[in-house]
Amino acid sequence: MRTNELFCIYGAGGHCKVIIEIIENIDKKIHSLFEDNPSKENLFGYNLTNDPAIFQLESVQWIIGIGNNLARKKIAEEHELHYGLAIDKTARVSRRAALGDGTVVMPGVTINSSTIIAAHCIVNTNSSVDHDCVLENYVHVSPNATLCGGVFVGEGTHLGAGAVVVPGINIGKWCTIGAGAVIIKDVPHYSTVVGNPGRIIKSEKQNEP
């Protein structure tokens, strides 16, 4: 990340508010926020715009400030921009971990050695991703969720608040893991899992872009 670059954020909802504060707290600058249908002129004093000319700005890093995984995928595929990283200064990220473009790491997060987190993921407040995990694009790890060592999480999967995944588990793409669920068995693609121990209550293919 070059220190002279500005950030722009796509979206202006609650998720964006946290990203703004992350960027402020690491002493970076925000140019403006893009919102398709802005209902106000600014957020926290930052300009809101729906002018597509903003996508032509040079030396700007983008973050998609939208919590919905499918929405982030659609936006990322539509707009080939220079995506940066937003990592809160209180997060503990191993120097041997790898994070993809557009990923956001919230306050209090721990990401341990040899973990790979791909593009446009959200690792939310106080969650923990242990060693040798792999998270594919557009994954969202919700607050206080715990991924033990060697967990694989497929594209677009959402892990609910406080969910726990035991070591070595494979979770498929575009799954929903309910809040507080405890995952002790592999989870196939497109599954919704709840409870302790986790049980599949629905398994159907979603409409992917």
Round to whole Å and give the CA distance between 136 and 129: 13
Residues facing residue 182 across a β-bridge? 164
Round to whole Å and give the CA distance between 86 and 65: 10
**C-alpha pair distances (Å), 197 with each of 14, 95, 148:** 31, 33, 15
Catalytic residue selected from 79, 82, 131, 189:
131
3-state secondary structure of 30: strand
User: What is the rounded end-to-end Cα distance, in angstroms, of the chain?
Assistant: 29
15 is catalytic: no
Active site residues per annotation:
131
